[in-house]
């Protein structure tokens, strides 16, 4: 049986389900490309139709497709091929108007130095491209700021249950599969907005039954869940090193996910020296996974898997009887609980980084804790108002930094005052509301000369301004009132 996700992939944008606004925006980008000539980043969760939409767009526009994958090929190879396709012009190999569409899938897998400047080179290519480029990414903020700024951005959201069910129903009818409507609804609900996973789950269940029922779907989910727990029993209690390694081949988990499962559950049965040895092997596995993340060379996965399976099984001292309650990794629970908070943090950090000429990582690590300490619970109200105005913060973002409730009158009034301050203070050279309004350029010069007395000369101030202009990474002017 052929892969249904490929067999029923949309061939036109009108067939793309669940992201009508994003689909229309992508179509508008393509139709007006000759006017703006910018690349576009299409981002969102896995399985929501990003790559399918890009291919469907090419079909609608009559453009041939050149598709590359940042995870399969690395650095210079990918960049050279992108540059070659993006630089071509003319009508010999192109479609309508001599265009071809370059699709760079998993574009968020370029990580600066790990690709030996790959992200920087891709940014240069998209800025100079003579052909339309679509960069497809799962994690928007894993891409460099300069690359994001050089492109238009379109977000594809998770596909709703009511959009997934008609797709599953249509596939069942085309494949001649009898079904209960409740079974399709159950599949759509369990896949959490991932249309591709929903189609895969439908095919997996349909292959095992003549008529699709809710019980079939529930049983399939239970079997998938039991798989990882059976593996943990084999690894921790029963099988030898070779057996544990072979058992891992049947587990539908990535090495990163598998490591989290083993790390959290092995202490429930191991103790003392055997636990120390097991953790040594898990530490080695984590090092190999770190090398995968750094180089995107997935051949290293096998070394990580060897350590976390055969190594952990070999660490066992004696037999392990009885039943043990294994649980999902606490790491996953923590990520789920903190996802909203991390998104808020990253949005604030991105805005501050752009203003201050710093990296997002530096803002998260150094500047945000500084702002938080200085405006704790909005106690320095004037300072908090200036901060909110400078970085255009809303109630939730002010609450995040200061630790105050976002629905309190205090936070709401601070944001309201910040909006007024932004309107009043459009001071040249500031670009934000941290500076006091200055009546005129003459008053500005006089005030600076006065303030500089005992601290620095006017020439020194001009030199500092020049240095800030030449070296934006060192510009801390937006934080001057905190010092």
DSSP codes, 9-77: --SSGGG--S-HHHHHHHHHHHHTHHHH---EEEEESTTSSHHHHHHHHHHHHT--EEEEETTTS-HHH
Q: How far is CA 303 from the centre of its chain?
A: 26
CA-nearest of 107, 132, 112 to 42 is 107
Whether residue 226 has pLDDT greater than 70: no
Separation of alpha carbons 248 and 270, rounded Å: 19
pLDDT digits (tens, 9 = 90+) for 48-102: 999 999 999 999 999 998 887 765 554 555 666 666 666 665 544 555 557 889 8
Separation of alpha carbons 151 and 111, rounded Å: 17
Separation of alpha carbons 305 and 318, rounded Å: 23
Separation of alpha carbons 241 and 181, rounded Å: 46
- Above pLDDT 70, what percent of the chain? 75
Instruction: Give phi and psi for 380, each to the nearest 5.
Output: -95, 90
Measured between its terminal Cα atoms, the distance across the chain in Å is 67
- Above pLDDT 90, what percent of the chain? 30
Count the helices and strands in the chain (H runs, E runs).
24, 7
Q: What is the pLDDT of residue 89?
A: 59
pLDDT digits (tens, 9 = 90+) for 269-324: 999 999 999 999 999 999 999 888 787 777 888 899 999 999 999 999 988 878 88
Separation of alpha carbons 193 and 24, rounded Å: 20
- The CB density around residue 216, as the number of other CB atoms within 10 Å, is 19
CA-nearest of 311, 265, 315, 316 to 287 is 311
At 35, the pLDDT band (50, 70, 90 cuts) reads: very high
At 31, the pLDDT band (50, 70, 90 cuts) reads: very high
Determine contact, residues 168/198, Cβ cutoff 8 Å.
yes
| Residue predicted with more confidence, 477 or 32 | 32
Q: What is the pLDDT of residue 94?
A: 54
CA-nearest of 117, 205, 119 to 168 is 205
Instruction: Give phi and psi for 231, each to the nearest 5.
Output: -65, -45
| 62, 120, 232, 233, 238 from 323: Cα distances, Å | 61, 53, 12, 9, 12
Report the SS3 class of residue 425: coil
* H or E element in which residue 103 lies: strand 101-105
pLDDT digits (tens, 9 = 90+) for 99-133: 889 898 888 876 443 344 566 778 888 888 888 99
- Give me the domains of the chain, ranges plus CATH numbers: 4-156 (3.40.50.300), 161-212 (1.10.8), 241-321 (no CATH), 335-482 (no CATH)
Separation of alpha carbons 273 and 271, rounded Å: 6
Whether residue 212 has pLDDT greater than 50: yes
Length reported for the chain: 483
Separation of alpha carbons 118 and 17, rounded Å: 33
Strand runs labelled E in 142-188: 152-156, 178-179
Report the SS3 class of residue 358: coil
For range 161-184, the mean pLDDT: 91
DSSP 121: H
At 197, the pLDDT band (50, 70, 90 cuts) reads: confident
Separation of alpha carbons 356 and 474, rounded Å: 8
Q: What is the pLDDT of residue 171?
A: 93
Whether residue 245 has pLDDT greater than 50: yes
Highest average pLDDT, of 60-69, 240-249, 275-284, 425-434, comes from 275-284
DSSP 133: E
Q: What is the pLDDT of residue 79?
A: 66
Q: What is the pLDDT of residue 117?
A: 53
DSSP 324: -
Q: What is the pLDDT of residue 43?
A: 93
Q: What is the pLDDT of residue 250?
A: 76
Q: What is the pLDDT of residue 240?
A: 92
For range 138-147, the mean pLDDT: 84
Determine contact, residues 306/262, Cβ cutoff 8 Å.
no
pLDDT digits (tens, 9 = 90+) for 324-371: 888 888 765 555 556 667 778 888 888 898 888 888 888 888 899 889
DSSP 363: I
Record the pTM: 0.50
Q: What is the pLDDT of residue 465?
A: 46
Q: What is the pLDDT of residue 341?
A: 75
Coarse DSSP helix, strand, coil percentages of the chain, rounded to the nearest 5 percent = 65, 5, 30
Separation of alpha carbons 140 and 156, rounded Å: 11
Q: Which residues contact 20 (CB under 8 A, 6 or more apart)?
A: none
Determine contact, residues 187/198, Cβ cutoff 8 Å.
yes
Separation of alpha carbons 98 and 91, rounded Å: 4
Q: What is the pLDDT of residue 274?
A: 93
Order of strands across the sheet with 133-137? 65-69, 101-105, 133-137, 40-44, 152-156
């Amino acid at each position: 049986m052929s892969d249904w996700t490929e067999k029923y992939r949309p061939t036109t944008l009108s067939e793309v389900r669940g992201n009508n606004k994003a689909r229309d925006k992508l179509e508008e980008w393509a139709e007006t490309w000759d006017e703006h000539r910018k690349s576009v980043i299409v981002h969102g969760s896995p399985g929501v139709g990003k790559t399918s939409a890009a291919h469907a767009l090419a079909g609608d526009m009559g453009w041939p497709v050149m598709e590359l994958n940042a995870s399969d090929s690395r650095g210079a190879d990918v960049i050279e091929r992108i540059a070659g396709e993006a630089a071509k012009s003319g009508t010999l190999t192109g479609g309508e108007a001599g265009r071809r569409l370059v699709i760079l899938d998993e574009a968020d897998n370029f990580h600066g130095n790990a690709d030996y400047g790959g992200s920087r080179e891709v940014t240069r290519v998209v800025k100079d491209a003579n052909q339309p480029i679509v960069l497809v990414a799962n994690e928007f903020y894993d891409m460099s700021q300069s690359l994001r700024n050089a492109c238009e951005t379109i977000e594809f959201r998770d596909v709703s249950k009511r959009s997934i069910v008609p797709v599953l129903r249509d596939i069942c009818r085309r494949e001649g599969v009898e079904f209960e409507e409740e079974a399709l609804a159950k599949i759509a609900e369990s896949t959490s907005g991932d249309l591709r996973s929903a189609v895969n789950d439908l095919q997996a269940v349909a292959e095992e039954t003549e008529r699709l029922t809710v019980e079939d779907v529930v049983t399939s989910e239970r079997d998938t869940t039991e798989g990882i727990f059976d593996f943990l029993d084999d690894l921790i209690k029963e099988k030898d090193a070779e057996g544990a390694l072979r058992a891992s081949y049947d587990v539908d988990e990535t090495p990163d996910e598998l490591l989290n499962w083993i790390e959290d559950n092995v202490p429930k049965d191991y103790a003392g020296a055997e636990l120390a040895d097991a953790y040594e092997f898990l530490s080695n596995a984590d090092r190999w996974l770190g090398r995968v993340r750094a180089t995107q060379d997935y051949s290293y996965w096998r070394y990580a898997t060897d350590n976390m399976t055969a190594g952990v099984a070999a660490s066992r001292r004696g037999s392990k009887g009885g039943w043990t309650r294994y649980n999902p990794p606490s790491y996953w629970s923590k990520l789920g609980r903190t996802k909203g908070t991390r998104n808020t943090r990253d949005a604030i950090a991105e805005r501050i980084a752009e203003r201050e000429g710093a990296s997002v990582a530096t803002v998260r690590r150094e500047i945000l804790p500084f702002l938080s300490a200085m405006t704790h619970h909005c106690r320095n109200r004037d300072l908090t108002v200036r901060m909110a105005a400078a970085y255009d913060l809303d109630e939730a973002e002010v609450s995040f930094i200061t630790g105050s409730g976002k629905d309190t009158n205090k936070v709401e009034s601070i944001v309201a005052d910040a909006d007024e301050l932004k309107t009043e203070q459009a001071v040249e050279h500031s670009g934000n509301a941290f500076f006091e309004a200055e009546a005129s350029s003459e008053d500005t010069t006089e005030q600076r000369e006065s303030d500089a007395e005992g601290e620095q000369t006017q020439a020194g101030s001009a030199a500092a301004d020049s240095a800030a202009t030449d070296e934006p990474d060192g510009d801390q002017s937006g934080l001057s009132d905190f010092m």
